[in-house]
Structure 1
Amino acid sequence: MKGFVDNIETLTEGNDDFRRVLYTSNHLQLVLMALQPGEDIGEEVHDDRDQFFRIETGSGEIVIDGAVRTVRSDMAIVVPAGARHNLRNTGSETLRLYSVYGPPEHRHGTVHRTKADVTEEHFDGKTSE
């Protein structure tokens, strides 16, 4: 089957990996993330891609170009290309979310069980199909 069809809420709430790429097309990528209390994604800038986050469980803060906003379950975040950003779990439970990159950021199939496992694995043109 081409495309991706599944219950994103169930997948996100059941994810314990820091990063897990679920689906990659030529123009979009769907990624699950889980941040432990006190953990963050790390400050970053994507000069050529937009990013969407959807918080399923937990609470935290997003910093976009120096502006800090509190986030919690059921909130959405859009980070435009070129914006410096970081998402941090400021709560006492795991912050679970999914992210959509356009275009893709990571190699398809990437799984980082913890933040310590993160390596530079940028999109190499291979998709889920």
Structure 2
Amino acid sequence: MTNNEMKLKDYGPHPFAVDLNQAAIKNVNYRTTLWTGDHFQVTLMAIPPNGGDIGMEIHHGNDQFIYLVEGVGHVQMGKDREKLTIDKDITPGEAIIIPDNTWHNVINVGDQVMKCYSIYSPVKHEHGVTESTKEEAIIQEGELEGSEE
């Protein structure tokens, strides 16, 4: 099965092989879980252009890895929400590594949808989650950790 034929759904916890870049490009949802196992999870994200973002948040109990496939982003991170130590533009092929208990936001600063994939360890979202927009994600999962959003 090619990635064009592949349905974007949660294939975990079964063995699975995929071109993550192509799966991320194919994804049109804000968040789609692609694989959920016992110890980590892969999600695909499509962030709207011109200022769409993940939202400033902090995870307690999760490390996160984000790889940018398409678009132009900007990342802000730090242990103190009022004193962020990373403030950097990112382009396709670059990764963001977010340790546990680190404030972070990723903003789409371009004029096209930003496509990326994210790995959480341990698992962050319920198996099979698909959220078409950030607003839907907040309705389904609640406010972003540490924010009023």
Which residue does the alignment assign to 2:95? 76
**TM-score, normalised by the number of residues in structure 2:** 0.78
Which residue does the alignment assign to 2:57? 44
Provide the aligned C-alpha RMSD in A: 1.3
Show CA shifts across 1:15-52 (max 9, x none).
Answer: 11000001111110000000011100111111211000
Q: Output the CA distance in 2 between the equivalents of 1:108 and 1:4.
A: 15
Greater C-alpha Rg: 2
Indicate yes or no: 2:41 matched with 1:22: no
Q: Which blocks of at least 5 consecutive residues in structure 2 are unaligned? A: 1-12, 79-83, 143-149
Which residue does the alignment assign to 2:9? none
Q: Output the CA distance in 2 between the equivalents of 1:54 and 1:91.
A: 16
Q: Output the CA distance in 1 between the equivalents of 2:30 and 2:115.
A: 9
**1:28 counterpart letter in structure 2:** F
Structure 1 position 62, deviation (Å)? 0.6
Percent identity of paired positions between Structure 1 and Structure 2: 32
Q: Output the CA distance in 2 between the equivalents of 1:120 and 1:2.
A: 25
Which residue does the alignment assign to 1:99? 118
Q: Which blocks of at least 5 consecutive residues in structure 1 are unaligned? A: 122-129
Show CA shifts across 1:61-101 (max 9, x none).
Answer: 01111121110111111000000001000011110000000
Aligned with residue 66 of structure 2, among 50, 53, 73: 53
Structure 1 position 4, deviation (Å)? 2.2
**1:40 counterpart letter in structure 2:** D
Q: Output the CA distance in 2 between the equivalents of 1:81 and 1:116.
A: 24
Relative to its length, the structure with more strand (as a share) is 1
**TM-score, normalised by the number of residues in structure 1:** 0.89
* Matched length: 121
Structure 1 position 116, deviation (Å)? 1.6
**2:123 counterpart letter in structure 1:** P
